[in-house]
Amino acid sequence: MHTYDNPVISGFHPDPSVCRVGEDYYLVCSSFEYFPGLPVFHSKDLVHWEQIGNVLDRPGQLPLPLPGAKASGGLYAPTIRHHGGRFWVVNTNVDGGGNFVVSAERPEGPWSDPVWLDLEGIDPDLAWEEDGTCWCAFSGPAGGINLARIDPDTGRVLEGPFPTWSGSGLKYPEAPHLYRIGGWWYLLIAEGGTERGHSVSVARSRSPRGPWEGAPANPLLSHSGTARPIQNTGHADLVQAPDGSWWTVLLGVRPRGFTPDVHVLGRETFLTPVEWDEEGWPVVAPVPERHAAPGGAWHPVPEPPGRDDFDGPALAPYWISPFARPEGSWSLTENPGRLTLRATGDTLDRPGYTFVGRRQQHHDCRVTVSVDPGTGRGGLCVRLDEAHHYELEVGAGEAGVVARIGPLRQTVASRPVPPGPLTLTVTIRTSDLVPASPELTDGGTTGPDTLAFWVGDPDAEDARPLAELDGRYLSTEVACGFTGRVIGMYATEGVVAFDWFAYAPASTPSG
């Protein structure tokens, strides 16, 4: 029997929604301020997922940069469904336009331009009756779950919106998903907030118009107040496997460090089984670190490549940029075999800069780039938002480590470097952490990890990092928001060329 480890999609991949077509599963996640938006994944077994594209991958689909764009703004909580031979995604752009629907014949795309819905709220869902009637459930502006009958092709609201069921009384009822299963309509929601109190609850009715009855065991799932290593569990979506078993994908976090614990990878995608009791209610298992896999064939997929030499005709779908990626800001053809970045802003402290990165997906990892700054300035950045990031920057014959933590910006260390291609490395480790205050922890540690910044080969016998910084300041609990760390290349002056980028998970010394 096969087993799987959670999370099934690691790193900043929150608010998962899933659908099955035949023996294939498709999943989308929130992307917030990053472009391209809404990553699309494919799996044959619910365990091994491969990113096959992004729903919003061209500037014409949404105004870019997003109007009023801000960190943790942008695109919230998509739902993916398959109906009438097409794939449908409904989503919210909280920074402009509101709720919209896009569709495609193939999940890889191309996806249509948005069809906007005159519905005020977030976290929309789509469900169809047998006669083709389409319902959109969403979290309304007053805080409850609303329902409207819509035409997804035109965006017209045909009936409603009207209130439905809004949970068991916990705060922020949201993330509704509506299903027809047997003779019942089930309404699955998240409540309790997306922090430690996050939970999953359900109600049912004989009609999508109600009346709704909440499950006696609500919330169906919550890790709040437990010692489980996976926390913030919620925002679930149900799917049935070909063998008849039921599963749910949901978000969660893996906090680390001294109390109150912090998480740095963002909210990730987890998988847990679902059973049905004698009364017809779903029973959701606590989210395990390891569990028996769904039945059927086992379909491992290639891991995202650890190294990109930028030899292809286009950037891989996992590369993302904050707010926008203007056409003139990057090129794979200007210097063939290199990613060339052209500065569009002179600092990473406010939107409008040139940055191309990928999500940090492992607690212990190493990222290395080969960079030629020429007469420009740029390097490697570990980003959470404009006010929380660490930079390893080269330019004008000098390398420096810069820390931006809230209102403070400081060059931590610097030294002269020769011209021409340089190797820059960031290592992130969860062992041998930055010492904590002895008065607090008797000489223990507080941060979840340590980030070390290197110029040259970190494995050389005489290698010394340029600086080491505590990772807690690049955590969600410090910076606030909905996203996780993204590590990438940037240019803040002139033109900077990157020959290759390598990302690799690393084992701790004890592991």
pLDDT score for 435: 59
Residues 6+ apart with CB under 8 A from 19: 25, 26, 80, 81, 82, 87, 239
- Let me know: does 291 contact 4? Beta carbons within 8 Å: yes
Q: What predicted TM-score, i.e. pTM, was given to this entire model? A: 0.96
The confidence score (pLDDT) of residue 91 equals 98
- Whether residue 67 has a cis bond before it, omega within 30° of 0: no
Report the pLDDT value the prediction gives residue 508, as an integer from 0 to 100. Answer: 46
SS3 167: coil
Tell me if 176 sits within 8 A of 145, measured CB to CB.
yes
| Residue 269 · residue 249 · CB < 8 Å | yes
From the number of C-beta atoms within 10 Å of its C-beta (0-12, 13-18, 19+), residue 509 rates as exposed
Domains in the chain: ranges and CATH: 3-292 (2.115.10.20), 307-505 (2.60.120.200)
pLDDT score at 399: 97
Q: String of b and e for 390-408 (b: at least 16 CB within 10 Å)? A: bbbbbbeeebbbbbbbeee
- How far is residue 90's CA from residue 242's CA, in Å, rounded to a whole number? 25
Could you tell me if 399 and 456 are in contact, meaning their C-beta atoms sit under 8 angstroms apart? no
What gap in Å lies between CA 306 and CA 249, rounded to an integer? 26
Per-residue confidence (pLDDT) for residue 142, from 0 to 100: 85
Please report, in angstroms and rounded to a whole number, the separation of the first and last CA atoms in the chain: 25
**Separation of alpha carbons 342 and 328, rounded Å:** 7
Q: Are strands 467-470 and 486-493 parallel, antiparallel or unpaired?
A: unpaired
State the burial class of residue 170 (Cβ atoms within 10 Å of its Cβ: 0-12, 13-18, 19+).
buried
Say what the pLDDT of residue 259 is.
85
pLDDT beneath 50, residues of the chain: 440-443, 508-511
Q: Which helix (H) or strand (E) covers residue 124, if one does?
A: strand 122-128
- How far is the C-alpha of 384 from the C-alpha of 487, rounded, in Å? 9
Residue bearing tokens 């709704």: 212
Could you give the residue numbers annotated as active site? 15, 174
